[in-house]
Amino acid sequence: MATAERARNRVDTRDFLSVDGQLNDEELMIRDNVRTFVSAELLPRVPEWYELGTLDPAVARELGKLGLLGMHLTGYGCAGSSAVAYGVTCLELEAGDSGLRSLVSVQGSLAMFAIWRYGSDEQKNEWLPRMARGEAIGCFGLTESDAGSDPAAMRTVARRDGSDWVLDGTKMWITNGSIAEVAIVWARANEGVHGFVVPTDTPGFSANEVKGKLSLRASVTSELVLDGCRLPADALLPQAQGLGAPLSCLNEARYGIVWGAIGAARSCFESALEYSLGREAFDKPIAAYQLTQAKLAQMVVEVSRGHLLALQLGRLKDAGQIRPEQVSLGKLANVNAALGVAREARTVLGANGITLEYPVMRHANNLESVLTYEGTAEIHKLVVGNAVTGIAAFR
C-alpha cells in the first residue's frame, strides 16, 4: 500500500473526531438507514429535481414509511426518537440536499409540532397519524412579504364571525405550500396572534408556487393567499397564545438545521477530497499541493467542530435543558461554517465545481436559503447578543 493511502486509512475522513462513537445503537441504526436511503433512493433523483425546480411530493410517503416524519414526537404514529436521532437524520438528509431536510423539518418540526404542542385532541387525531405516514403534507405560514425577520409585523388577520373564524392576508416563502393538504397559518386577532389548522381545500385558501429560485430548487416554495377563508371554531389551535407559540416551533426546526448544515458541509468536503485525489495538474494530484491540503484541513476542522456542536445541543435537548439562544448559536455557527466549506470546496473542483454533476454548487446555493430562513444570521447574532448582554437590539 502506498504511504499516502496508509496514512489516509488511519482516519475516518467522514468522521475525523469519531463523533459517531457517542451515538447509541438506535441512533447508529437510524443513521445507517437514512444514509442508505438517501444514497440509494434520493441522490439519483435530486439533480433532476434541482434542474427542474421541483421535488416529487411522493417522497413524503417514502420518508413516512421510514418513520422520519415527526420522528421526535410521541404518540399519534410518531416514533418518539431521541433529539440526537432526529439530528442525525437531518444531517444525513441534508448531505443529500437541503430540500430533503426542509421537507422533513417543515413537516415534523413546524406543522406537526404546532399541532402536537398546541392542538386539540381532535386536531391531533385527525392530522398527526396521516402526516407521520406522509399521506398528508403540512406547511407552516408565518412569514409575509413585509414581515420576515419581524413576524410581529404580520398583517394577516383573523376575525370572528359568529362562531367561525375568517382569515384574510397573504403569507410568503412557504415551504411545501402548494403541495400541502394542511397549512398552519398564524394570524393576528384582536387579542393577539393565533394559529389555525387550515385544510388547503377550504374555500378562500389558495397557494401559488414561487418560480425562478436559484437556491433550494429541490423544494416547493409558495405564496399562501387567504381571501375570506372561513374556518369553524375548532380550527383554532387552542393552546397557542401569542407570538411565542410560532417562535417555539421555530426552535424545533432550527435545531434540525444545526445538524443538517453539517451534512451539506460533509458532502462538499467529501466531494472535494475525492476530486483532489483524482485530479492531476502540473503532473501531480492537486491533493498533493499544500494550498489544497490547507483547504481540505480547514474543511475537516469546520465539519468536525460543527458535528460536535450539534451533538452537544442534541444532548441538551434530550435532557430537556436546551435554551432557544443555544439553538440560535448552533444555527448561526453551523450554517456559516457549512457555507464556508461549500465555497472552498467549489474552488477545489475548478470548472467542474459549477455543474450539477457534483453536489458542491447545489449545496452552496441551497445554503444561501438556509442562512436566511428560520431566522437570518443577523437575527441569530442579535439573539446571542441579547443573551450575553441582556440588551435586546432587534428594534
| Contacts with ligand TGC, residue ranges (CB under 6 A) | 102, 105-106, 140, 142-143, 149-152, 175, 242-244, 247-248, 250-251, 253, 324, 373-375, 379, 383, 394
Question: β-strand 164-175 against 78-79: which pairing, if any?
Answer: unpaired
Question: Taking CB under 6 A as the rule, does residue 216 contact ligand FAD?
Answer: yes
Q: Write the Ramachandran bin of 220: left for phi over 0, alpha for psi from -120 to 50, otherwise beta.
A: beta
- Asked if 346 and 359 count as a contact pair (C-beta separation under 8 A), the reply is no
Record the cell numbers describing residue 99, joined without a space.
430540500
Q: Which does 243 bind (CB under 5 to 8 A by kind): ligand FAD, ligand TGC, none?
A: ligand TGC
374 is catalytic: yes
Which among ligand TGC, ligand FAD, none contacts residue 251 (Cβ within 5 to 8 A by kind)?
A: ligand TGC
Cell of 209: 408556487
Sign of torsion, CA 308 309 310 314?
positive
The grid coordinates of residue 322 equal 436546551
105 binds, among ligand FAD, ligand TGC, none (CB under 5 to 8 A by kind): ligand TGC
Contact yes or no for 198/182 (Cβ under 8 A): yes
Phi, psi of 300 (to 5 degrees): -65, -40
Shortest reach from residue 143's CB to ligand TGC, in Å = 5
Q: Which of 34, 220, 264, 379 binds ligand FAD (CB under 6 A)?
A: 379
Query: Least distance in Å: CB of 367 to ligand TGC?
Result: 12
Q: Phi then psi for 182, rounded to 5 degrees?
A: -140, 140
Q: 143 or 276: whose CB is closer to ligand TGC? A: 143
Q: Which listed residue (92, 181, 344, 374) is catalytic? A: 374
Of 134 and 195, the one with the shorter C-beta distance to ligand FAD is: 195
Per partner kind, with CB cut-offs from 5 to 8 A, the member of ligand TGC, ligand FAD, none near residue 335 is none
Closest distance to ligand TGC from the beta carbon of 288 (Å): 39
Q: Tell me 40's DSSP state.
A: I
**Cβ count within 10 A of residue 244:** 10
Q: How far is the CB of 142 from ligand FAD (least distance, A)?
A: 3
Task: Return d(Cα 220, Cα 179) in angstroms, integer.
Answer: 7
**Interacting partner of 383 out of ligand TGC, ligand FAD, none (Cβ under 5 to 8 A depending on kind):** ligand TGC
What residues are labeled active site? 374
